[in-house]
Amino acid sequence: MKSRRFVLTFPPETTGEPITYNLIRKYDIMVNIVKADVSPGKIGHLVMEMTAPAKVLKEGMAYMEQQNVECVPIDRTITYREDLCIHCGACSAVCFAGALTMNRKTAELSFEPEKCVVCELCLTACPLKLFSIDLG
């Protein structure tokens, strides 16, 4: 079973459904909330790691779609202009999640979106402004 990280976007109008609870109880998906920014009347975001067999995960995602919750794999929400990168390492300084690290041997920046917690610190730490995040 693979763990994957997703960015969930909740519409401002909630249905009252306990979505995370249902993902756990009804679908038996192991859920790990990495970051949450949800308040009533506003678009909410949840960064969540989900662990389940592929089939179950698919069913859970279909359920979320029914509830108007957008669920996007984390690597599709972060854009990094690798072609323009000078591999200085300034972004790795702020990435406490360990998604951005310097490869000691090649001295190149390595980006593992699966480890990202969407703290957004790299957006400002990159002196060339090569990161952008689109949460929809």
Residues that bind other proteins (CB under 8 A): 86-90, 92-94, 96, 101-102, 104, 106-108, 121, 124-125, 127-129
- Kind and range of the H or E run holding 110: strand 109-111
Nearest distance in Å: CB 79, other proteins? 18
The CB-of-109 to other proteins minimum distance in angstroms stands at: 9
Comparing CB distances to other proteins, the nearer of 29 and 109 is: 109
Shortest distance, position 19 Cβ to other proteins, whole Å:
33
Cβ proximity to other proteins, 70 vs 120, nearer residue: 120
Closer residue to other proteins (CB): 31 or 102: 102
Considering the complex, state which of residue 71 and residue 122 has its C-beta at the smaller distance from other proteins. 122
Distance CA 11, CA 40 (A): 10
